C-alpha cells in the first residue's frame, strides 16, 4: 500500500553543459538547445526531432512553433492559429486565412484535443496525414453548424458554454494525425445571418480549454489556441528498438509503445524517479525523504526488500488468482455487452449454411496474429486496423480490430449485420468467417484476399504494370453484380455506404471481392431508405445523401460511378495536386460536357481501337450513375446488366443492345456540379469529405477518419 501511495516525481534534466530552461520553460533531454559547453556535443538526441531554439525574448521554439511546456511523459504544449473567414453585408470576403501546424515528428493528441467550428453558416475541416513526409495518404474530418436566425432565449440558456450544435460544433481528432491544416468555410457567405454573425471559425484546442458563448457569434476573441502534441522516440517499436545501439531508454526504465503506432516512450520503473532518457537514468526513490510520508520509524523500502520477499511472493500469488478471475469476468461481460447472447439466439437462422459463422476466442486471434504484431498489419481504416492471421489449420484470414469500444446503441445493428453477412454466399463479396466478442470491441474475421486493392492496380504511382482494359471492365461487372446482390438478393437488403476502389479487393486471378462493411446499413424490406449519420469518403460521397441524410441504394450507385471513372482514367477520386480539378467526378462530368472524354482517359485503355465503343459505353454509364438526383440514376441491377452487355459486345461485335439505357445524345439537365464548396479548389463541389449537415431542425454528424 505504501508503494501505491508514492507519487512518481519526474525530474526534468538536461545534459551537463546544456541549457536547462528557456524563460520559464524547462528543457528535458532528449530535447535540447545548441551544443554542450566544452565538448561541442549536441544537447539533444536527434537533430531534426528534438532540436529546439531559444530566442532573444526567452521563448522556446520547435521549428516555427512556440512551445509552452515539455513533459518526459511524452507530451508537449504548443499553440496554433485560428482559421477564420469573414464577409461584409454583400457577401464579399473581408478576411480569410487557413491555419497550419507542421509537426512531422509529433502527432496531434487525439486524447487531449478537440476540433471545433464556430458560426451560424459554417463548416470547418482539419486535414492531416499519418506519415511524416508529404501529404500523400492525407485524410480529414470536420463538422458544420447552421442556424438561420439568432438563437432564442431558451436556446441561448440551454447552449450557454456548450458547443452542442447551435452556433458551435466539435469532433474528436483522429488518432495519429500530424502536419495538419485547419480551414473554416461558409455555405452562403453569411448573407442570411450577417446581422448577427458574419464570420466562420475553425480551430484545434485542448478539450477543456474552450467554453462556447453565444457572444462568439458576434466576435471570437482568440487568434490562437493551445493544443497538445504527443512525442515519441521515432525509431520503431520497443521490440525492435531494444536490440539496437541507439535504444533511448536508460537504466532502471521500461519501454512503452506509442498508442498511435509511431515510435515508443520510456518510463522509470516503479520505485524510481528521474528522466528515463538521461544518461544517468532513473534513481531509487528514498521514501523516507518524502515529507509527511511516514513517521520516525520509516525505512527505505529497498533497504528491507529481502525481508519483504515472502510477503511479495504471497501477494503476487493472490494477485495472479484475482487477475485470472477478473479476466474471466471481463471476457464474459464483454461477450454479453457485445451482443454474444443475442448472436447465439440467431443459431436457428444460421442453421443450414455450410460455413457457419464461428465465434472465436480472443486467444485464438492473438495467436493467429502474433499478438497483433505490427508486421501483420494489412491496412488501417476509419474503424480500425486489419491484420493478417494464420489459423491453426493454416487458413489465412483478415482480422479487423476496432480502435475504440463498441457503442451499446449500435450492438443490435452489429449483431444483425453479422447474422445477415454470415448468410451471404456470393463469389464477389468477401466472406465473413466469424467474430470475437470477448474483447472491449468486437473483432471480425474475414477470408484473406491476397492481391491488394483495385487502387493498387490502376494507380500508376503504385503499379508499374496497370491492368488492361478488358480486366478492368470485368472487375467493374463483377463489382456491380455483387452490389446488386446486396441491394436486391440478400435476405435483408444491405446498403454498403462506402463503395470505393480501396474497398474492392482482388485475388490472384484479379477477381473482384467487395469488402469493408463497417459503414453498411441494413434496410428493412418495407422501407426504401433510412435516415443515418452521414458517413462516406472524400470524392465518393453521394451529394443527395449529404444534403438530406436519407440513405438509399442509389447512394451506392453514385459511389460506384466514381469507381467506373477511376477505371477509365487511372486517376484517384480526389487528388489535391491535380491542377484541373481536385474532385475526379466533377472533372469527368465537365470533360464529357466539353467533349474531351478521349483526352482524360488512361493511356493504358486507349492502346487498342476495339476498346472505343466499350469505353464510350462505360463513360456514358458512369455519367448516369453520377447524376445529382438519385431518382435519375440507374439501379445497380441495371448497371450490372449494362456492363455485361458491353462485355458481350467485345465477344460479339454485332450485338449492341437496342434497349440500352445509354443515350449518346441525352440532355442531362442536372449535372454533378452542385452548390456545396467543401475544399479549396472544388468548383461548386457536391461531395464532401469532412462536413455533415446540421440545422436547428435536423442534426446529422459527419464522421470521417483515414478516408471515411
pLDDT tens-place string over residues 98-131: 999 988 888 999 999 999 999 999 999 999 887 6
704 located within any domain:
no
498 and 540 part of one domain? yes
Instruction: Tally the domains of the chain.
Output: 4
What integer pLDDT is reported at residue 382 of this predicted model?
58
484 and 622 part of one domain? yes
Query: Is residue 10 scored above 50 in pLDDT?
Result: no
Mean pLDDT of the chain: 79
pLDDT digits (tens, 9 = 90+) for 651-700: 665 555 444 444 444 444 333 333 333 333 333 333 333 333 333 233 33
What integer pLDDT is reported at residue 385 of this predicted model?
84
323 located within any domain:
no
The CB density around residue 402, as the number of other CB atoms within 10 Å, is 16
Query: Is residue 296 scored above 90 in pLDDT?
Result: no
CATH number of 410's domain = 3.30.200.20
552 located within any domain:
yes
Query: Is residue 135 scored above 50 in pLDDT?
Result: no
73 vs 78: CA distance, rounded Å: 16
**Of 404, 421, 447, which marks where a domain is finished?**
447
Task: Sort residue 321 into left (φ over 0), alpha (ψ -120 to 50) or beta.
Answer: alpha
pLDDT digits (tens, 9 = 90+) for 459-512: 877 777 788 899 999 999 999 999 999 888 766 788 888 899 999 999 999 999
463 and 428 part of one domain? no
Containing structural domain, residue 224: 77-230
Least reliable range by pLDDT among 109-113, 535-539, 559-563: 535-539
Least reliable range by pLDDT among 100-114, 137-151, 289-303: 289-303
212 located within any domain:
yes
Q: Which of 171, 140, 131 is nearest to 382 (CA)?
A: 140
**Of 417, 447, 477, which marks where a domain is finished?**
447
184 vs 95: CA distance, rounded Å: 11
220 and 241 part of one domain? no
DSSP letter for each residue of 535-593 = E--TTT--HHHHHH-EE-HHHHHHHHHHHHHHHHH---SB-TT-SS-SBHHHHHHHHHH
CATH number of 668's domain = 1.10.510.10
44 and 138 part of one domain? no
What is the torsional sign of CA 158, 164, 165, 169?
positive
149 located within any domain:
yes
Q: How much is the pTM? A: 0.49
**Of 447, 468, 484, which marks where a domain is finished?**
447
69 and 90 part of one domain? no
The residue that leads in pLDDT, 30 or 166, is 30
Query: Is residue 356 scored above 70 in pLDDT?
Result: no
438 and 529 part of one domain? no
The residue that leads in pLDDT, 278 or 104, is 278
What is the torsional sign of CA 194, 198, 201, 207?
negative
The residue that leads in pLDDT, 130 or 262, is 262
553 located within any domain:
yes
108 and 88 part of one domain? yes
68 and 30 part of one domain? yes
238 and 226 part of one domain? no
Q: Which residues pair with 504 in a beta bridge?
A: 514
377 located within any domain:
yes
Cβ burial, residue 625 (10 Å; 0-12/13-18/19+): buried
609 and 490 part of one domain? yes
User: Would you please indicate which residues are annotated as catalytic (active-site) residues?
Assistant: 498
Residue 341: which pLDDT band, with cuts at 50, 70 and 90? Answer: low
536 and 410 part of one domain? no
Query: Any long-range contacts for 588-597 (C-beta under 8 Å, 24+ apart)?
Result: 588/622, 588/623, 588/626, 589/623, 589/626, 589/671, 589/672, 589/673, 590/671, 590/673, 592/619, 592/623, 593/671
Query: Any long-range contacts for 14-17 (C-beta under 8 Å, 24+ apart)?
Result: 14/43, 15/41, 15/43, 15/278, 15/279, 17/43
What integer pLDDT is reported at residue 303 of this predicted model?
52
The residue that leads in pLDDT, 393 or 352, is 393
Least reliable range by pLDDT among 133-137, 158-162, 338-342: 133-137
What integer pLDDT is reported at residue 220 of this predicted model?
93
CA angle 440, 446, 452 (to 5 degrees): 120
Amino acid at each position: 500500500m505504501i508503494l501505491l501511495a508514492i507519487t512518481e516525481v519526474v525530474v526534468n534534466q538536461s545534459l551537463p553543459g546544456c541549457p536547462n530552461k528557456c524563460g520559464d520553460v524547462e528543457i528535458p533531454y532528449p530535447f535540447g538547445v545548441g551544443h554542450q559547453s566544452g565538448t561541442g556535443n549536441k544537447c539533444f538526441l536527434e537533430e531534426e526531432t528534438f532540436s529546439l531554439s531559444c530566442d532573444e525574448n526567452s521563448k522556446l521554439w520547435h521549428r516555427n512553433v512556440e512551445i509552452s511546456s515539455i513533459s518526459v511523459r511524452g507530451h508537449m504544449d504548443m499553440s496554433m492559429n485560428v482559421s477564420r473567414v469573414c464577409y461584409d453585408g454583400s457577401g464579399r470576403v473581408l478576411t480569410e486565412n487557413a491555419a497550419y501546424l507542421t509537426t512531422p515528428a509529433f502527432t496531434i493528441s487525439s486524447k487531449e484535443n478537440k476540433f471545433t467550428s464556430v458560426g451560424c453558416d459554417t463548416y470547418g475541416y482539419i486535414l492531416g496525414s499519418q506519415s511524416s513526409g508529404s501529404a500523400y495518404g492525407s485524410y480529414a474530418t470536420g463538422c458544420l453548424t447552421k442556424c438561420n436566425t439568432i438563437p432564442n432565449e431558451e436556446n441561448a440558456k440551454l447552449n450557454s458554454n456548450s458547443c452542442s450544435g447551435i452556433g458551435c460544433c466539435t469532433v474528436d481528432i483522429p488518432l495519429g494525425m500530424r502536419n495538419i491544416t485547419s480551414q473554416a468555410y461558409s455555405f452562403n457567405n453569411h448573407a442570411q445571418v450577417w446581422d448577427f454573425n458574419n464570420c466562420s471559425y475553425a480551430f484545434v484546442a485542448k478539450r477543456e480549454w474552450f467554453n462556447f458563448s453565444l457572444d462568439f457569434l458576434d466576435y471570437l476573441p482568440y487568434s490562437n489556441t493551445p493544443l497538445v502534441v504527443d512525442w515519441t522516440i521515432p525509431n520503431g517499436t520497443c521490440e525492435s528498438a531494444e536490440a539496437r545501439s541507439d535504444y533511448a531508454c536508460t537504466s532502471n526504465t521500461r519501454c512503452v509503445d506509442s498508442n498511435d503506432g509511431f515510435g515508443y516512450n520510456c518510463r522509470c520503473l516503479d520505485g524510481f524517479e528521474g528522466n528515463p532518457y538521461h544518461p544517468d537514468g532513473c534513481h531509487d526513490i528514498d521514501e523516507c525523504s518524502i515529507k509527511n510520508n511516514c513517521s520516525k520509524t520509516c525505512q527505505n523500502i529497498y533497504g528491507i526488500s529481502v525481508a519483504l520477499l515472502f510477503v511479495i511472493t504471497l501477494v503476487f500469488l493472490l494477485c495472479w488468482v484475482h487477475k485470472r478471475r477478473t479476466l474471466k469476468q471481463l471476457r464474459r461481460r464483454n461477450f454479453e455487452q457485445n451482443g454474444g447472447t443475442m448472436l447465439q439466439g440467431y443459431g436457428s437462422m444460421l442453421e443450414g449454411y455450410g460455413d457457419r459463422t464461428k465465434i472465436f476466442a480472443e486467444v485464438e486471434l492473438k495467436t493467429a496474429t502474433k499478438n497483433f504484431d505490427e508486421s501483420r498489419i494489412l491496412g488501417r481504416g476509419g474503424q480500425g486496423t486489419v491484420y493478417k492471421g494464420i489459423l491453426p489449420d493454416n487458413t489465412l484470414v483478415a482480422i479487423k480490430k476496432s480502435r475504440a469500444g463498441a457503442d451499446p446503441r449500435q450492438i443490435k445493428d452489429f449483431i444483425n449485420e453479422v447474422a445477415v453477412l454470415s448468410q451471404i454466399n456470393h463469389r464477389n463479396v468477401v466472406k465473413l468467417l466469424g467474430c470475437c466478442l470477448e474483447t472491449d470491441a468486437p473483432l471480425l474475421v474475414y477470408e484473406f484476399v491476397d492481391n491488394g486493392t483495385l487502387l493498387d492496380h490502376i494507380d500508376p504511382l503504385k503499379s508499374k504494370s496497370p491492368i488492361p482494359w478488358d480486366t478492368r471492365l470485368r472487375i467493374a461487372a463483377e463489382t456491380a453484380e455483387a452490389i446488386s446482390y446486396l441491394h436486391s438478393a440478400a435476405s435483408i437488403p444491405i446498403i454498403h455506404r462506402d463503395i470505393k476502389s480501396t474497398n474492392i479487393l482482388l485475388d490472384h486471378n484479379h477477381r473482384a471481392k467487395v469488402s469493408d462493411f463497417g459503414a453498411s446499413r441494413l434496410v428493412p424490406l418495407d422501407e426504401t431508405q433510412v435516415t443515418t449519420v452521414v458517413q462516406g469518403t472524400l470524392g465518393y460521397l453521394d451529394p443527395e445523401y449529404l444534403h438530406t441524410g436519407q440513405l438509399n441504394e442509389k447512394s451506392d450507385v453514385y459511389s460506384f460511378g466514381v469507381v467506373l471513372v477511376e477505371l477509365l482514367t487511372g486517376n484517384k477520386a480526389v487528388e489535391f495536386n491535380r491542377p484541373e480539378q481536385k474532385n475526379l467526378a466533377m472533372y469527368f462530368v465537365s470533360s464529357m460536357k466539353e467533349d474531351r472524354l478521349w483526352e482524360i482517359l488512361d493511356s493504358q485503355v486507349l492502346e487498342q481501337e476495339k476498346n472505343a465503343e466499350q469505353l464510350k459505353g462505360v463513360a456514358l454509364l458512369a455519367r448516369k450513375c453520377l447524376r445529382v438526383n438519385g431518382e435519375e440514376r440507374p439501379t445497380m441491377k441495371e448497371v450490372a446488366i449494362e456492363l455485361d452487355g458491353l462485355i458481350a459486345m467485345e465477344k460479339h461485335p454485332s450485338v449492341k443492345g437496342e434497349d440500352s439505357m445509354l443515350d449518346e445524345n441525352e440532355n442531362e439537365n442536372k449535372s454533378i456540379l452542385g452548390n456545396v464548396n467543401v475544399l479549396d479548389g472544388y468548383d461548386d463541389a457536391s461531395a464532401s469529405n469532412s462536413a455533415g449537415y446540421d440545422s436547428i431542425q435536423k442534426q446529422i454528424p459527419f464522421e470521417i477518419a483515414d478516408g471515411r
